[in-house]
Structure 1
Amino acid sequence: MLTIGELARRAGTTVRAVRHYHATGLLAEPPRDHSGYRRYGAHALVRLIRIRRLRDVGLPLERVRELLDEPGSLDEALAALDAELADRQRDIAERRRRLAELRRRPTDPELPPGFAEVFGRLAALGVDQDHLRQEKETLLLALAIDEQVGAALLDWYRQVADGPMLAVSAELGRRMVELARRHPDDPEVRRLGADFADFVHDQLGEEIDQVRAENRAGDDAPPGVETALLTDWISGLNPSQRRVLAITGELLSARLPGSADIWRDLNHLMSDLLP
């Protein structure tokens, strides 16, 4: 009769595996003998060898249990496993294709494909990296709050990257980053808030306003969710940047009726966050 170590060695596996099969009920655990050892016989050895070989093929434990306890078609089990592996292989091939594309044309995998390409172009055109990082976080939040504005935002980013507004957008971003070193009462804060309001209204306001108005009736999000998310994000900005957003929200609430609720919420929550 065999000890657990001898059993594992003869079956070509490990003591740890044998104990795992005990724990899962796949291999019966014999009682201890008078000396306190568990002894395994021929039936246990044969069953363990079968378990190990079926596992080596790649069959999951539950399928191994079925084949051992309720003998069925091994061909069917192997065919099912082969189909599963083929699916995994296709998935791996697709992931490798995407990785190769990322390595060939470096883009940010944290962004949706279209936005990733545009942000990559903006970086290549020399837009400030701190501004792009903050812009990315703002974009991800905007898409999570209302994915319906995604198409309009993507079109706008493409227009910025391809047109004369790139310099304006980059300069606004640079000024926003620079405000981290300024006092909230600095005159530049109000100027930048007004400039942001003009920029958003002139370049993107009509699209956002229209999409927001069309989808507002079917919005099933609990009241206050958008405001809570905006509050949480804005709380991570410095006081001067928060004041810029408050000014921007105040000005846009009167200029974009379809989405005025967002800008009003922004303005109200900014009042609570400002010192």
Structure 2
Amino acid sequence: MPLPAFPRRVKIGDAAAFAGTTPRAIRHYHAIGLLPEPERGSDDRRRYGYDDMIRLLWIRRMADAGISLDDIRAGFEGATGIEQSLARLEESLVSKAAAIEAQRAAVHRLREVGSPLGLLSPLVSGRLRALPPGSLRPADLDTLLVTERTFGSLGAAVQANRFIVLATHPELRAEEDRLAEAEAALDDTMSPDDPRIEDLAAQRCAHEAALGAAIDQSGLDEALEGLLDREDEHAGAEEGAARMSPREAIGKMPYDFSPARVRYEERVSELLHSADQDGDTPQTC
């Protein structure tokens, strides 16, 4: 059987097809000095010979292995060893493998626990899974997501006690809903000096005291004992997100509060702090 004709030089399309790349990529290799410009034929088109093809094959194999084009060029020029590039690449791949494994674990949790509960850390979602389906409001989970980003998984686990009590105490949930509706009415039409703000802040303070008493009676806080020493075990949900202080995080989370709502939040904070400082009973502020 006769052998096919062997071309002495080939055009860029044939070179790209043989090397498993594209003419555009080859032109880029020329532009960055990775692949020398070949001779041109009488039609002023590039013609690639055997040595050109060998170099192109090396480039493609190294690029497929993940070595950057800059490192490939430096290796060809003798400025650095390919071994150094491979060492850096291996470190990068190890890091990527860890990230992929974390993603796989996150996907597994979402499938096992369900969304959106599975978006929270295992420490937080584990405390909530025993609740009846539907007892947690979407807004509750939204709040926990924000709290976990701001104060970490342990902070959100502490806050989860609040939502567990609300889900299991209908009278407290009803009061929470009533207060939330009244707070939503603190819009731009209300003056920050409106006396109703002070009254509503006192009601919120009393409600928070009642919630605190219910949490104490439930023993939920006792269930959190010992978790301080294990906080690092639950930091996985926060890995990959830029770390920042709670103060920084709070300053970056937008809330469309009117001046009246801002004043209300300030008064609630002041009343709760005052009650804590005075050592009032949980039922008073």
Q: Could you say which TM-score interval applies, normalised by the shorter chain?
A: 0.5 to 0.7
Name which of 167, 170, 173 aligns with 1:170: 173
Offset from partner CA, 1:239-269 (integer Å, 9 cap, x none) = 77555423312312323349xxxxxxxxxxx
What is residue 157 of structure 1 aligned with on the other side? 160
**Displacement of 1:99:** 1.4
Secondary structure (helix, strand or coil) at the match of 2:180 reads helix
Distance in 2 of aligned mates of 1:92 and 1:229: 30
Aligned-residue RMSD, C-alpha:
4.8
Change over 3 Å in CA distance of 1:36–1:50 after alignment to 2: same
Matched AA of 1:161: I
CA change 1:9–1:159 in 2 (3 A) is closer
Give the aligned partner of residue 253 of structure 1. 273
Relative to the length of structure 1, the TM-score reads 0.59
CA contact (8 A) 1:172 1:196 kept: yes
Partners of 1:48 and 1:230 lie apart in 2 by 52
**In the superposition, relative to structure 1, how do residues 66 and 119 fare at CA in structure 2: closer, same or farther (>3 Å)?**
same
Between the aligned partners of 2:81 and 2:262, the Cα distance in structure 1 is: 67
Shift of 1:17: 1.7
2:9 matched to 1:7? Answer: no
Cα deviation digits, residues 121-174 of structure 1 (max 9, x gap): 5683613323443x336524751xxx6xx6465245347627997546533442
* Alignment correspondent of 2:282: none
1:101 partnered with 2:109: yes
Runs of 5+ unmatched residues, structure 1: 208-220, 259-275
The 1:80/1:189 distance shift into structure 2, 3 A limit, reads closer
Distance across 2 between alignment mates of 1:10 and 1:142: 54
Pick from 19, 25, 38 the counterpart of residue 27 of structure 2: 19
* Larger CA deviation: 1-10 vs 121-130: 121-130
Task: For residue 180 of structure 1, report the CA deviation from its aligned partner.
Answer: 5.9
1:65-85 residue CA offsets vs partner (Å, 9 max, x unmatched)? 455444999899878867765
Which aligned pairs between 1:161-200 and structure 2 lie closer than 5 A? 161=164, 166-167=169-170, 170-179=173-182, 182=185, 189-190=200-201, 192-199=203-210
- 1:98 aligned partner, one-letter code: A
Q: Please say if residues 160 and 169 of structure 1, whose CA atoms lie closer than 8 Å, have aligned partners that are also in contact.
A: no
- C-alpha distance 35-82 of structure 1, shift in aligned 2 (>3 A): same
2:138 alignment partner in structure 1: 129
Distance between the aligned counterparts of 1:123 and 1:28, measured in 2? 69
Q: Mind listing any 5+ residue stretches in structure 2 that lack a counterpart?
A: 1-8, 222-243, 279-285
Letter in structure 2 aligned against 1:195: A
Answer yes or no: is 1:115 the counterpart of 2:124: yes
In structure 2, how many angstroms separate the alpha carbons of the residues matched to 1:18 and 1:231? 46
Larger RCO (CA under 8 A, 6+ residues apart):
2
Which structure has more helix as a fraction of its residues? 1
